[in-house]
Amino acid sequence: MKINFLKLDKKIYVISAVTLLLLIVSLVAYFYSNKGTRRQFIYESVDQSSMYIESRYLPSKPLNGKVENYIDELVSGPITERARPLFGQGTKVNYCFENNYVLYVDLSSQALYTKDSNRDFESVFALAAKNIKYNFPSIKHVEFSVEKQPVFEGRY
């Protein structure tokens, strides 16, 4: 009895090898790619008296630190038009540092200038503190100042 082996063409071997190589390269690229860290941003809704939540991917290792990078994004405002920015346009973070679970944030004077004249600034700073503490649980309190002047006595 004679056994016949299936003879495959060389083209099949080349196509299989190239496909396997592409699969391996694709998997390596997928595992080494990093979209960043997902962060939540909570803003007031323009239409209703409710909150609007945005999710954004921020760099995992930013140059200015994770917390300050997050605060820069928070201060810059929402992406959509359906949410109200927390602070006035052009607000910058002068400094931001953490000491004993307390975050100290100093903002530029533009933080107090908004288009909405009947806005309660205490609730705005409370919402900003809520955003920070939600995304960084190690921070227990946040103290805000504008141009090195405390905004409200006490911590959020």
List CB contacts of 124: < 8 A, sequence separation 6 or more: 86, 87
Cα separation, 115 vs 135, in Å, equals 28
Give 128: exposed, middle or buried? Use CB within 10 Å, 0-12, 13-18, 19+. buried
User: pTM for this structure?
Assistant: 0.74
Predicted pLDDT at 140: 92
- pLDDT (tens digit, 9 = 90+) per residue, 45-82? 887 788 889 999 998 888 888 999 999 999 998 998 88
Predicted pLDDT at 71: 92
Task: Give the DSSP H/E element, type plus range, for residue 84.
Answer: strand 83-84
Q: Are 123 and 137 in contact (CB under 8 A)?
A: no
Residue % of the chain over a pLDDT of 90 = 31
